[in-house]
Amino acid sequence: MKRKRKTYLRGSLVALLSSLVFLSSLVVADAAKIGYISSARIFREFVGASDVQKQFQKEVDEWRKKAEEMKKEINRLSEEFKDQALMLSEEAKERKRSELVQKKQKYEAFISEIWGPDGKAARKEIELTKPLVTKIDKILEKLAEEEGFDLILDIDESSIVYSREGLDLTDRALEELNKEVIHVGAEKAKLAVFKFKETSPQAMEGNFGRQISDLLEKALVKLGMFELWEGNLSAALIQEAIDKEEEADEKRAVDVCRIAGAEVAVIGTVTKLGATVEVEIKLLDVKTADVLTTEQAKTTRSETQEDLLPMVGDLASRLANVYRAK
């Protein structure tokens, strides 16, 4: 089963249905069998979901209570300063102002920490609803297999929640599109993508350096401009006295590639904080030792490798465009 939620497909449900029916007709001779769900109704009416909502609301109420207390303290200090301003010395006034500024900064930082992008509230909601979403996905997969559905849509999110294998035509579309800009039979550059250096504990725990570098290597090869590097990485690393490939900087990565015969190298770093993954990568011309480009990207969806694919695909396209123009 291939599952997409919320951020991948947006817009008119009518347009989505029309496009999917058309794509399905390209893959199967018989008409596609399509069903849909209302995720909003499931979360509203499923008994198990109410328990999750109550638990989440309890957490939110505690955060809101703390925020209100902090706001009251700011208001108290502000009124106190106004009342005492005429009686205070300049030194005392400055202390009061400084205290008030610090309280406001702490309040704003707390609001951002809880309700900001990728804040505690968003992460807690994901944590609490994940078991329920997994249960829904399993039930949908079971229904699709038992009743022969090719596609199941979520009408509230205008997204695909289930699709039968073979309906995703992305790779075929990319192959045809790339033929227009890449000459068939043109020599492909030998590519080496080093494991990215993990710069946070969460990135290390999830092995995100290897995950993302492997996904990027596959994405670059699919674009048709590069071929996999078949050099002996281990031997080249030993020769350059590098214990771990992710420790190779620009110069040493170039030296390793020259030993093993790669023409293009990619090195990078990856950081994960909460659900946010940030990547910075460099494309190196091994012959000239030049950094052709430095690219950055981030995503707030990182639960599965499928979640990482949009970010990785965008990075691969950017690198390919730079290399094509050099």
DSSP β-bridge partners for residue 228: 191
Reduce the DSSP state of residue 59 to 3 states and report it.
Answer: helix
150-167: average pLDDT = 84
pLDDT band per the 50, 70, 90 thresholds, residue 222: confident
* Residue that is written with structure tokens 């192959």 in the block: 175
Distance CA 120, CA 112 (A): 9
Distance CA 275, CA 325 (A): 34
* Residue that is written with structure tokens 């902090």 in the block: 70
Among the ranges given (77-86, 143-152, 184-193), the one the predictor scored with the smallest mean pLDDT: 184-193
* Residue that is written with structure tokens 């992460």 in the block: 123
Distance CA 276, CA 311 (A): 12
Q: Which two tokens stand for residue 256?
A: 């390793």
pLDDT digits (tens, 9 = 90+) for 74-94: 999 999 888 888 888 888 888
pLDDT digits (tens, 9 = 90+) for 256-307: 888 878 899 999 999 998 888 999 999 999 999 999 999 999 998 888 888 8
Domains and CATH numbers, the chain: 1-168 (no CATH), 170-325 (3.40.50.10610)
Please state, in angstroms and as integers, the Cα–Cα distance from residue 185 to each residue in 133, 179, 182, 225, 320, following that order: 46, 10, 9, 10, 17
Pairing of strands 264-273, 189-193: parallel
Residue 19 has pLDDT above 60, yes or no: no
Tell which residue, 286, 320, 299, 301, has the closest CA to residue 216: 320
Average pLDDT, the chain: 82
**What is the pTM for the complete model shown?**
0.55
Tell which residue, 186, 206, 174, has the closest CA to residue 276: 206
Backbone angles phi and psi of 83, in degrees to 5: -65, -35
Handedness of CA 318, 321, 325, 326 (dihedral sign): positive
pLDDT digits (tens, 9 = 90+) for 223-255: 888 887 766 666 666 666 666 666 778 888 888
Question: Are the CB atoms for 42 and 129 separated by under 8 Å?
Answer: no
* Residue that is written with structure tokens 């990207």 in the block: 297
pLDDT of residue 7: 35
